[in-house]
C-alpha cells in the first residue's frame, strides 16, 4: 500500500471517528479539525482550517501543551455552546522536535444526563424502599419465579416471620392454611382481593390483596398486602359501639333493615314509606317488641329531615313529675333543684328533625294538653315561662295500648287522639307473620355471631317449625332473646341451630299465678298485700318473657303503674 493510499485511509478513519480531534502546528494554526469536532463545537471545518486555534477555540489549552511539552489527560471543559467534554491533549513530535499538539475529546453531556437520571432512579428506589419499610400495611413482594424479594417490619409483626425466613424462599413459605396467591398472580397475571388465609407459625387469620408487577410489558413479580382480620373485627365492634352511643340523636335504621316479606309487614312498610315525606304526625300502633321504633327510625331516614336530629323519648320511663320539663323545657327558677340557667326541652332539641314519642299512652293529662298545642300551633311554652317558642320538629308517636278504650275511660284526650290518628300505621305482631321467622332468625344469628364471636350459619327446618308453633307474646324482641340464649348453649364448633338447642316454648299460655295463702298470725294485712302484689308482678314478668308492656296488660294496669310497683318492690 503506497503513501497516498495510507493518507486516504487515515483521513477516512479520522473523519468517521465519534470523538472530536483537533491538531495544531507549533505556531497554533489548526491543521486537523474532523467532523465530530465540528459537530461538538458548532464551528464549520472550513472556518476552522488554517485559522489560529485561539481565534476559534481559545479555551482548548493546546498552546499550553506546546509550551510545556506535557500531556494533559481527561481534562473536563465546556464549549461556548454549552457542550461538556472530556479531553486528552498531547504534544506532537517529529525526530525529537515538538511540531505541534492535538486534542481528542468526548461529548459527556449525554453521559451527565444519564448519570443524573440514574441518580434520580436511585433516589426513587430509596424512597420506595423507605415507604415500604415504614408502612403500617404488611407488604410482601416476590419475583417472577415466586421467590421472596421484600418484606417490611409490619409483615414481620403480623406473621412472626423475619427476612431470613422469607427472602429467597418460595412464595408458599409463610402460608399455614390456604394457597399461595402470589403464585396465582404469576400464573394468571390477574389481581385478587380479600382472600382469606392463615399465615405464620401462629396461624394468623388475614385477608390478602395481591397484584402483578408489570415492567416493560413483562410480568416481573407480585406484591401482596395482608390485613389482620382481628383488627377489622375490633374496628367493626368499635363502629357498632359508636352507633349505639349516637342512637338517641341519630336514626340508625332504614327500611332495608326491616326484615320479612309477609303480606302484613309489606302493607305496613308501604304505608310508612308513603308517609315519610308527608308533613303529618304519625302514630305507630302494635304490641311491644314488634319493631315500632325500627319503623320510626326508617321513616325519619326516608324523609327530608334525615340530616337533622332524631330524638327518642320513652314517655313511660320518665317520672310523671318530670315529663313536662323534659319534653318542653323550663325557665330558670321554675322549681327547686332546677338548673339555674333553665333548660331546653326535647322538642327544641329536635329542632328541624324528628321526635319519637314511644309509649305515648302513658303521658299525663296535662302533658297531653301541651302536646296537642305543639301539634296544632307548632310552639311550646317552657315550664315556668309565658313566652311561646316555635318548634319545627316532626312527631312520630307509638303505643301498644288501645287508645280508643283510654279515650272512653277519660285517661286520654279525645282531641289529641284524633290528631294522632291522621296517619296510623299498625306494625304486625310476630304471630301475624310467622312466615318471617326463618328470615328473622337468620338475620339475628348474624348479629349474635358478631356479638358473641360464634359462627352459627343457619337454623334447621325442624327448629323453625318449632318456633312457628309458639304464640310469641314478646314478639320479635323475644325471638332475638331466645336465639341468643340458644347460641350461648351451643358448642363453639356447631354451625347449625337444631330444635334441641332451643329452650322449652309452650304452645299455650302458662297457668295463672297460685297466690300465697294469707297468714295473719305472723304478718299484718299490709305485709300480706305487698307480698302478693310482688308475686303477681314477678309472675307477670316471667310469663311475658320480661316484656313490661305485656306484663302491664296482663295485670290490667298502666305501664307507668307497673314501673312504680317494680320500684316499690325492688324488682329489676
342 and 376 both lie in a single domain: yes
Query: Is the pLDDT reported for residue 390 higher than 60?
Result: yes
Task: Give yes or no: residues 445 and 417 share one domain.
Answer: no
Res. 156: pLDDT tops 80? yes
Could you tell me if 162 and 56 lie in one domain? Answer: no
Q: Which residues contact 160 (CB under 8 A, 6 or more apart)?
A: 200, 201, 202, 204
Residue 514 lies in a domain: no
Residue at 48 is within a domain = yes
15-50 pLDDT, tens digit per residue, is: 777 888 999 999 999 999 998 888 888 888 888 888
- What band does 485 get if pLDDT is binned at 50, 70 and 90? very high
Structural domain includes residue 162: yes
Task: Give the pLDDT confidence of 112-133 residue by residue, as tens digits.
Answer: 676 667 666 677 767 777 778 8
Q: Which of 107, 138, 162 is the last residue of a domain?
A: 107
510: in domain: no
517 domain-assigned: no
Asked whether residue 241 is assigned to any structural domain, the reply reads no
- Domain with residue 477: its CATH number is 1.10.8.60
Q: What percent of the chain has pLDDT over 70?
A: 88
- State yes or no: pLDDT of 320 exceeds 50: yes
The number of CA neighbours under 13 Å toward the Cβ of 197 is 24
Q: How far apart are CA 227 and CA 206, in angstroms?
A: 5
**Contact present, 371 and 396 (Cβ < 8 Å):** no
Cell of 337: 333543684
Query: Is the domain of 66 the same as that of 192?
Result: no
Q: 547 lies in a domain?
A: yes
- pLDDT, position 248: 45
Give yes or no for residue 278 having a pLDDT over 80. Answer: yes
Question: Number of folded domains in the chain?
Answer: 5
Same domain, 295 and 394: yes
The pLDDT, as a whole number, for residue 323 is 83
Question: 253 with 398, same domain?
Answer: yes
Task: Give the residues across from 213 on adjacent strands.
Answer: 221
- 295 and 418 in a single domain? The answer is yes
Predicted pLDDT at 247: 44
Residues facing 88 on adjacent strands: 104
Three cell numbers written together for 467: 318456633
- End position of a domain, from candidates 371, 405, 426: 426
- CATH number of the domain that residue 136 is part of: 3.30.450.20
- Confidence at residue 273, expressed as pLDDT on a 0 to 100 scale: 94
The verdict on 185 and 318 lying in the same domain is no
> Would you say residue 520 has pLDDT above 70?
no
Q: In which domain, by residue range, is 446 found?
A: 430-501
513 domain-assigned = no
Can you give the pLDDT at residue 513? 56
pLDDT for 317: 82
Beta strand ranges found along 342-474 (DSSP E): 354-358, 379-381, 388-390, 394-399, 424-426, 458-459
Helices vs. strands in the chain: H and E counts, helices first: 23, 20
Best CA proximity match to 347, nearest among 296, 398, 388, 317 = 388
The verdict on 226 and 127 lying in the same domain is: yes
pLDDT at 146: 92
Task: State whether 86 and 22 are in the same domain.
Answer: yes
Q: The pTM is what?
A: 0.50
Distance CA(90)–CA(104), nearest Å, equals 9
What CATH number corresponds to the domain at position 349? 3.40.50.300
The per-residue b/e assignment along 199-208, b for 16 or more CB within 10 angstroms, e otherwise, is: bbeeebbbeb
Domain boundary among 231, 262, 282: 231
Same domain, 331 and 402: yes
Angle (CA) 92-94-99 rounded to 5° is: 50
Weakest-pLDDT range from 142-146, 301-305, 307-311, 568-572? 568-572
pLDDT of residue 162: 93
pLDDT at 460 over 50: yes
Same domain for 227 and 351? no
Amino acid at each position: 500500500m503506497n503513501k497516498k493510499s495510507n493518507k486516504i485511509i487515515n483521513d477516512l478513519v479520522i473523519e468517521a471517528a465519534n470523538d472530536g480531534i483537533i491538531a495544531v502546528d507549533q505556531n497554533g494554526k489548526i491543521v486537523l479539525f474532523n467532523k465530530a469536532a465540528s459537530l461538538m463545537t458548532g464551528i464549520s471545518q472550513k472556518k476552522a482550517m488554517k485559522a489560529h486555534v485561539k481565534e476559534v477555540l481559545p479555551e482548548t489549552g493546546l498552546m499550553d501543551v506546546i509550551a510545556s511539552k506535557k500531556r494533559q489527560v481527561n481534562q473536563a471543559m465546556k464549549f461556548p455552546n454549552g457542550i461538556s467534554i472530556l479531553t486528552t491533549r498531547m504534544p506532537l513530535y517529529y525526530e525529537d522536535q515538538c511540531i505541534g499538539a492535538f486534542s481528542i475529546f468526548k461529548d459527556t453531556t449525554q453521559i451527565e444526563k444519564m448519570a443524573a437520571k440514574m441518580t434520580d432512579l436511585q433516589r426513587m428506589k430509596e424512597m420506595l424502599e423507605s415507604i415500604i419499610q415504614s408502612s403500617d400495611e404488611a407488604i410482601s413482594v416476590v419475583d417472577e419465579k415466586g421467590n421472596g424479594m421484600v418484606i417490611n417490619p409490619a409483615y414481620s409483626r403480623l406473621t412472626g416471620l423475619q427476612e431470613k425466613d422469607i427472602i429467597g424462599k418460595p412464595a408458599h413459605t409463610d402460608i399455614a392454611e390456604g394457597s399461595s396467591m402470589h403464585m396465582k398472580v404469576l400464573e394468571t397475571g390477574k389481581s385478587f382481593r380479600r382472600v382469606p388465609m392463615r399465615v405464620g407459625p401462629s396461624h394468623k387469620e388475614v385477608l390478602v390483596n395481591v397484584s402483578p408487577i408489570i415492567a416493560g410489558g413483562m410480568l416481573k413479580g407480585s406484591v401482596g398486602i395482608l390485613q389482620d382480620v382481628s383488627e377489622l373485627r375490633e374496628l367493626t365492634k368499635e363502629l357498632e359501639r359508636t352507633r349505639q352511643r349516637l342512637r338517641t340523636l341519630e336514626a340508625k335504621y332504614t327500611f332495608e333493615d326491616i326484615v320479612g316479606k309477609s303480606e302484613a309487614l309489606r302493607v305496613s312498610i308501604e304505608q310508612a314509606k308513603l308517609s315519610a315525606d308527608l308533613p303529618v304526625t304519625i302514630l305507630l300502633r302494635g304490641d311491644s317488641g314488634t319493631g315500632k321504633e325500627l319503623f320510626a327510625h326508617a321513616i325519619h331516614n326516608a324523609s327530608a329531615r334525615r340530616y337533622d336530629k332524631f330524638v327518642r323519648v320513652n314517655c313511660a320511663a320518665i317520672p310523671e313529675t318530670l315529663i313536662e320539663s323534659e319534653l318542653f323545657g323550663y325557665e330558670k327558677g321554675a322549681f327547686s333543684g332546677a338548673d339555674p340557667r333553665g333548660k331546653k326541652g326535647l322538642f327544641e332539641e329536635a329542632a328541624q328533625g324528628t321526635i319519637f314519642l314511644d309509649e305515648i299512652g302513658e303521658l299525663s293529662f296535662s302533658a297531653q294538653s301541651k302536646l296537642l298545642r305543639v301539634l296544632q300551633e307548632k310552639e311550646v311554652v317552657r315550664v315556668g315561662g309565658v313566652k311561646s317558642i316555635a318548634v319545627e320538629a316532626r312527631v312520630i308517636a307509638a303505643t301498644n295500648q288501645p287508645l280508643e278504650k283510654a279515650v272512653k275511660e277519660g285517661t286520654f284526650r279525645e282531641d289529641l287522639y284524633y290528631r294522632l290518628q291522621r296517619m296510623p300505621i299498625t306494625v304486625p305482631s310476630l304471630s301475624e307473620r310467622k312466615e318471617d321467622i326463618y328470615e328473622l332468625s337468620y338475620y339475628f344469628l348474624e348479629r349474635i355471631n358478631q356479638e358473641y364471636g360464634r359462627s352459627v350459619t343457619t337454623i334447621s327446618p325442624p327448629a323453625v317449625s318449632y318456633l312457628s308453633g309458639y304464640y310469641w307474646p314478646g314478639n320479635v324482641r323475644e325471638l332475638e332473646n331466645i336465639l341468643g340464649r340458644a347460641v350461648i348453649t351451643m358448642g363453639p364448633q356447631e354451625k347449625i341451630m337444631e330444635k334441641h338447642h332451643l329452650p322449652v316454648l309452650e304452645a299455650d299460655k302458662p297457668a295463672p299465678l297460685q297466690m300465697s295463702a294469707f297468714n295473719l298470725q305472723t304478718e299484718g294485712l299490709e305485709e300480706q298485700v305487698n307480698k302478693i302484689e310482688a308475686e303477681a308482678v314477678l309472675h307477670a314478668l316471667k310469663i311475658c318473657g320480661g316484656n313490661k308492656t305485656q306484663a302491664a296488660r296482663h295485670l290490667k294496669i298502666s305501664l307507668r303503674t307497673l314501673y312504680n310497683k317494680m320500684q316499690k318492690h325492688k324488682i329489676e
